[in-house]
Amino acid sequence: MATIAIDPRVSSRTAGFVSTDHRMLVDGRFVKAASGKTFPVYNPATGDVIAHVPEAEAEDVNRAVLAARRAFDDGAWVRMAPSERGRLLWKLADLLEKNLDEFAELESLDNGKPFAIARVADVPYSVDMFRYMGGWATKITGSTIPLSCGYDFHSYTVREPVGVVGQIIPWNFPLLMAAWKLAPALACGCTVVLKLAEQTPLTGLRLAQLIDEAGFPPGVVNVLTGYGEGAGAPLAAHDMVDKVAFTGSTEVGKLIVKAATGNLKKVTLELGGKSPAIVFADAKLEQAVAGTASAIFFNHGQCCCAGSRLYVHEKVFDQVVEGVGKIAEDIKLAPGLDPSSQMGPLVSDEQYRKVVGYIESGIAEGAQVAAGGPVSGMERGWFVRPTVLTNTNPRMKVVQEEIFGPVVCAVPFSDAEIDKIIQRANDTVYGLASSVWTQNLSLAHKVARGIRAGTVWVNCHNVFDASLPFGGYKQSGWGREMGEQVLNNYTETKAVTVAL
Ligand code: NDP
């Protein structure tokens, strides 16, 4: 086993948790993997191993699914008063909030993001999601329906939990993705097996302890650590799972759909993106420059909705590129736990190689580097400099494919092309998000109408709220996360008709 090296900046409490003998939550107990196997967790700022966690495989998945099945089928959770389910979600939110600093430290250490960001975004947004969904637990209603065929019936609908849910989450917002998935499923009365991402299991494992402390009944939430093929695939294929909810790459999303065919389980997917940010000549430039820079550089570009294609009217193109480039050059790269850090490392060596490979491929195909580039200048860790590419063309890989790093392609458009800009913005297989920057109200609405994506931001980007539905058109996914709409993912509708 490699030496454990935890960053000396973390508090003794966080260090204590990181160094524990990590266990998964299955059926209300904290357990090792059935095989006894573990796998290493790395600090992306150094490449050091910081922990080992259990490596769940098919046997562990099976145990967790059986526990979730029993917890669902015995009916206690489903029949629990909705206000009590809501109270448990609120209690979990309170516990999370009480441990805000510890969770922010863990997230920073494990994922690489700046502590300050995790503290103001990841953790509070997760708290809010549990509270918001706790509120929905008492408001999941059906409707009464007047039948068109006659007056002699009384018909109504009820919404019931879909059953046992397998949830598979990624590493870019580890705690927040766990909250996005768990909170609505539990509010609806489902039981859950949650598989954390191999790169970032720490906040999910700590959350499992809080779930236990909050008093959720055994088997209602089961939390596994393991690899995608070893644990994710058997979870997606398991016959006793009624539904699988996945966030990650479009490629794995397609595998999930195939795996789900055995028992035709329900599937929702939150997948990749190649989101356009469109800046018109009349935009407030200071706002547009800061906003489009943040659209791509927030979370190191490791956002499914990152504004990675920047279309700018030619009249303001140079100013915008210069402004975004200056912001890129000024961003301070440092380990997330360094208080001066404005951007930490990417999450893994694999992700680092992928992103640097894209920058190099863009350059090889003729793109010019307006800021950043493939060399980070950092001595250790998986750092990539925020990068602005110009002189691209629509068929380049950097323009078409999701890079999932701090790399933006800036593309000018002319007055003559304004009508075509919507078409260009829509010219990828993705349709997750977009932003439009203009002072012209009707233009903003016209573009918003034409964009084929689940989210359009006007004069802003990356604005999220527990109440706002989020998800993709085209190959960016199926279904919506958050808001009232996510409840559809976790409920079945039953129509009841009574002859009067
Ligand atoms: P993946 O899609 O591989 O991983 C997402 C989750 O799926 C992880 O928990 C992973 O497990 C799991 N998984 C992997 N393979 C399978 C499988 N066959 N069956 C079931 N579950 C599986 O994303 P990566 O981490 O590999 O990142 C690759 C790219 O995906 C990124 O560069 C980015 O483009 C995109 N991505 C998109 C995200 C989004 O928010 N939409 C988030 C993360 C990535 P494990 O990681 O433990 O192996």
Contact 382, 351 (CB under 8 A): yes
SS3 184: helix
Rounded to 5 degrees, φ, ψ at 68 are: -65, -35
Ligand 1 closest atom vs CA 177: 40
Contact 186, 253 (CB under 8 A): no
Phi-psi region of 355 (alpha: psi -120 to 50; beta: other; left: phi over 0): alpha
Please give the C-alpha separations between residue 298 and each of 12, 73, 129, 216, 301, in angstroms, as whole numbers: 29, 42, 20, 34, 6
Distance 252 CA to ligand 1 centre (A): 6
Residue of 195, 252, 261 best suited for mutating to test ligand 1, as the one with most atoms within 8 Å of CB? 252
What does the alpha-carbon distance between residue 38 and residue 205 come to, in Å, rounded to a whole number?
14
Instruction: For residue 330, give every residue at least 6 positions away whose Cβ sits within 8 Å of its Cβ, in sequence order, or none.
Output: none
Task: Quote the pLDDT of residue 4.
Answer: 66
Beta bridge partner(s), residue 412: 312
Whether residue 271 has its Cβ less than 6 Å from ligand 1: yes
How do the pLDDT tens digits run along the chain, 500 residues long? 444 677 889 999 999 999 999 999 999 999 999 999 999 999 999 999 999 999 999 999 999 999 999 999 999 999 999 999 999 999 999 999 999 999 999 999 999 999 999 999 999 999 999 999 999 999 999 999 999 988 899 999 999 999 999 999 999 999 999 999 999 999 999 999 999 999 999 999 999 999 999 999 999 999 999 999 999 999 999 999 999 999 999 999 999 999 999 999 999 999 999 999 999 999 999 999 999 999 999 999 999 999 999 999 999 999 999 999 999 999 999 999 999 999 999 999 999 999 999 999 999 999 999 999 999 889 899 999 999 999 999 999 999 999 999 999 999 999 888 889 999 999 999 999 999 999 999 999 999 999 999 999 999 999 999 999 999 999 999 999 999 999 999 999 999 999 99
Please tell me what DSSP assigns to residue 118: I
Q: How confident is the model over 143-197, as pLDDT tens digits?
A: 999 999 888 999 999 999 999 999 999 999 999 999 999 999 999 999 999 999 9
Nearest CA to ligand 1 atom 16: 228
Residue of 167, 168, 246, 351 best suited for mutating to test ligand 1, as the one with most atoms within 8 Å of CB? 168
What single string gives the DSSP state of each residue in 383-447? Answer: ----EEEES--TTSHHHHS---SSEEEEEEE-GGGGGGHHHHHT-SSEES--EEE-S-HHHHHHH
Please tell me what DSSP assigns to residue 470: B
Whether residue 236 has its Cβ less than 6 Å from ligand 1: yes
Contact 122, 171 (CB under 8 A): no
Whether residue 308 has its Cβ less than 6 Å from ligand 1: no
Rounded to two decimals, what is the model's pTM? 0.97
Whether residue 204 has its Cβ less than 6 Å from ligand 1: no
Whether residue 203 has its Cβ less than 6 Å from ligand 1: no
Nearest CA to ligand 1 atom 6: 170
Instruction: For residue 167, give every residue at least 6 positions away whose Cβ sits within 8 Å of its Cβ, in sequence order, or none.
Output: 181, 182, 185, 192, 193, 194, 195, 244, 245, 246
Distance 104 CA to ligand 1 centre (A): 22
| 282, two tokens | 């009349």
SS3 110: helix
Whether residue 198 has its Cβ less than 6 Å from ligand 1: yes
Whether residue 301 has its Cβ less than 6 Å from ligand 1: no
Nearest CA to ligand 1 atom 42: 248
Whether residue 45 has its Cβ less than 6 Å from ligand 1: no
Strands (E), 27-152: 29-31, 38-43, 48-54, 144-145
Using only the alpha carbons of the chain, give its radius of gyration.
Answer: 23
Provide the annotated active-site residues. 270, 304
Distance 81 CA to ligand 1 centre (A): 36
Rounded to 5 degrees, φ, ψ at 417 are: -100, 0
Ligand 1 closest atom vs CA 272: 41
What does the alpha-carbon distance between residue 57 and residue 94 come to, in Å, rounded to a whole number?
32
